[in-house]
C-alpha cells in the first residue's frame, strides 16, 4: 500500500471518541440574502401590501357588521311616529330617529343611507313606524314619502265661511288662512293632507278642484238650460244643494227651479232668504223662518226678486251640479217638505196647496213653542 493512500485513509477514518460522535456538528450556513431582498424599497412595499390587506380585511368586517346592524330589527317596541320637517338634513333626520328610539345608531343609519345612494331622496312629512322596524325599513319609508295622511272633510252645501272655519281649526295644518274666496268656488270633498301642509295650500287645492269639476260638468250640460253663463249654473246648483240632501230628489228639484225660470216665476227658495239675512254663517239652529224674513229686502231673497240671486249661496257638490246640468224632465213647478226628510212635487197650485196643508199639520206642533215666544212675528206655516 502506498504512503499516500495510507495517509488518506488515516485522515478519513480518524478514530473519535463516543462523546465526539454523539456531539452535534455544525449545520450548513444559510444562503446569503440577495441585495434585492435587502433593498429598502422592497421592504416598504412589502409593508404597504401587508398593511393594505389588513385594512381591507378590517373594513370588510366593519362593512359586514354595519350592514347587519342596518338590516337588523330595530329597538322600537311600539308603534311610533316622527315628523320630518322640510329642508331637514340627513344628519338631523338620523339624530331625531335615534333620539326617538326608532333606530339604535344615527351614524350607522347615516352611512347606510349614503351607501344606498338615498341621501337626497328622503322626503318631508309625518311617518309612522312599526315595532322592530330596521334602519333599512325606516330609510325606505322616508324615501317613499308614504307619510301619515289626515282627512279634512268638507260637506256638500257648506258656505265658504264654514269651510274657512273648519280649515282654520285643523291642527295638522299650518299658517294663516288666505283672503276669503268667492262663494261657490270651493269643492266639497274629503281631502287627505300631511301634517304641516299650509292652510293656503289646501284652500288653493279646493279651489282648483271645484273649478275643474264645474268646467267638466258645464261642458256636458243640456243646451236648453235657461242660465246665461257658468256663474248662474253654479248659483242654481247651490240652491238645489241647499234644498235637498237626498240624491234621488236632486234632479227633480232642479227641474222645478228650471221650469220656474222658463215660466218667469219667482224661485221662492227658503235657503236664499237665509243666506241673504245671515250670510255664510248660516241661520242659528234655534231661529225659525218667519214671515218677516220672507219679506226681507236683500238681493238674495227669491220671494222678492225675479230670477236667480247675484251669486251662489253655498258650495255645491258634484251631484247638485250634475242635477242642474241634466235635470229630470217634468212639469213640476212646486214642491214642499213631506215631514220625513223628503219632498212632494206638484204641477198645479191646487195640488201644492193641499200638500202644504198636510205639511203644516205635521209642523204645527213643532212650531207652536217658537210661535208662542214671539206672537207678533209668526213663524212661516202658521
Domain boundaries, the chain: 80-144, 149-214, 223-373
pLDDT reported for residue 286 = 87
pLDDT for the residue numbered 32: 62
CATH match of 80-144 with 3.40.50.620: no
- In three-state form (DSSP H/G/I as H, E/B as E, the rest C), the secondary structure along 265-324 is CCCCCHHHHHHHHHHHHCCCCCCCCEHHHHCCCCCCCCCCCCCCCCCCCCCCCHHHHHHH
User: What sign does the CA torsion over 208, 210, 215, 216 have?
Assistant: positive
How high is the mean pLDDT in each 10-residue block of the chain (382 residues)?
49 59 62 61 72 73 70 91 90 94 93 90 92 94 92 97 97 96 97 93 98 97 95 98 91 96 95 96 90 93 96 97 96 86 89 87 71 59 46
Note the pLDDT of residue 382: 43
CA 185 to each of CA 139, 149, 179, 204, 371: distance values in angstroms, whole numbers, following the listed order:
40, 24, 13, 10, 37
Q: DSSP string spanning 162-200? A: HHHHHHHH-TT-BS---PPPPTT-S--SEEEEETT-BHH
Rounded to two decimals, what is the model's pTM?
A: 0.74
Give the residue from 1, 3, 20 showing the smallest Cα distance to 11: 3
Looking at residue 177, what is its pLDDT?
A: 97
Predicted pLDDT of residue 378: 59
What is the per-residue pLDDT for 30? Answer: 63
DSSP state of 379: B
Identify the pLDDT of residue 54: 75
Q: What pLDDT is attached to residue 208?
A: 98
Grid coordinates given for 380: 212661516
pLDDT value at residue 65: 63
Strand, coil or helix: 337: strand
pLDDT of residue 245: 85
pLDDT at residue 192 in the model: 95
Instruction: For residues 103 and 137, give the distance between their C-alpha atoms in angstroms, rounded to a whole number.
Output: 10
d(CA 178, CA 32): 92
Amino acid at each position: 500500500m502506498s504512503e499516500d493512500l495510507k495517509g488518506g485513509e488515516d485522515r478519513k477514518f480518524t478514530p473519535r471518541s463516543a462523546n465526539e460522535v454523539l456531539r452535534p456538528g455544525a449545520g450548513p450556513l444559510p444562503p446569503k440574502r440577495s441585495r434585492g431582498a435587502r433593498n429598502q424599497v422592497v421592504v416598504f412595499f412589502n409593508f404597504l401590501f401587508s398593511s393594505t390587506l389588513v385594512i381591507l380585511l378590517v373594513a370588510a368586517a366593519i362593512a359586514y357588521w354595519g350592514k347587519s346592524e342596518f338590516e337588523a330589527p330595530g329597538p322600537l317596541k311600539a308603534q311610533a311616529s316622527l315628523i320630518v320637517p322640510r329642508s331637514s338634513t340627513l344628519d338631523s333626520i338620523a339624530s331625531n330617529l335615534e333620539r326617538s328610539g326608532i333606530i339604535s345608531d344615527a351614524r350607522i343609519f347615516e352611512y347606510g343611507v349614503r351607501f344606498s345612494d338615498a341621501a337626497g331622496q328622503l322626503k318631508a312629512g309625518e311617518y309612522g313606524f312599526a315595532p322592530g322596524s330596521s334602519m333599512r325599513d325606516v330609510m325606505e319609508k322616508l324615501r317613499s314619502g308614504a307619510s301619515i295622511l289626515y282627512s279634512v272633510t268638507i260637506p256638500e252645501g257648506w258656505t265658504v265661511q264654514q269651510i274657512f272655519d273648519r280649515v282654520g281649526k285643523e291642527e295638522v295644518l299650518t299658517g294663516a288662512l288666505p283672503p276669503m274666496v268667492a262663494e261657490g268656488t270651493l269643492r266639497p270633498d274629503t281631502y287627505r293632507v300631511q301634517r304641516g301642509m299650509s292652510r293656503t295650500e289646501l284652500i288653493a287645492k279646493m279651489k282648483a278642484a271645484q273649478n275643474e269639476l264645474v268646467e267638466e260638468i258645464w261642458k256636458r250640460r243640456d243646451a236648453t238650460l235657461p242660465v246665461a253663463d257658468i256663474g248662474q249654473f253654479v248659483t242654481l246648483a247651490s240652491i238645489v244643494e241647499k234644498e235637498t240632501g237626498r240624491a234621488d230628489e236632486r234632479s227633480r228639484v232642479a227641474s222645478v227651479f228650471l221650469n220656474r225660470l222658463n215660466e218667469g216665476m219667482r224661485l221662492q227658495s227658503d235657503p236664499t232668504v237665509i243666506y241673504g239675512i245671515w250670510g255664510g254663517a248660516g241661520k242659528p239652529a234655534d231661529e225659525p223662518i218667519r214671515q218677516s224674513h220672507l219679506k226681507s229686502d236683500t238681493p238674495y231673497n227669491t220671494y222678492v226678486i225675479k230670477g236667480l240671486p247675484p251669486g251662489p249661496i253655498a258650495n255645491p257638490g258634484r251631484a247638485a251640479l250634475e242635477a242642474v246640468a241634466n235635470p229630470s224632465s217634468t212639469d213640476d213647478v212646486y214642491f214642499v217638505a213631506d215631514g220625513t226628510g223628503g219632498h212632494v212635487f206638484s204641477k198645479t197650485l191646487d195640488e201644492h196647496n193641499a200638500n202644504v196643508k198636510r205639511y203644516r199639520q205635521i209642523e204645527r206642533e213643532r212650531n207652536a213653542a217658537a210661535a208662542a215666544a214671539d206672537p207678533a212675528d209668526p213663524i212661516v206655516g202658521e
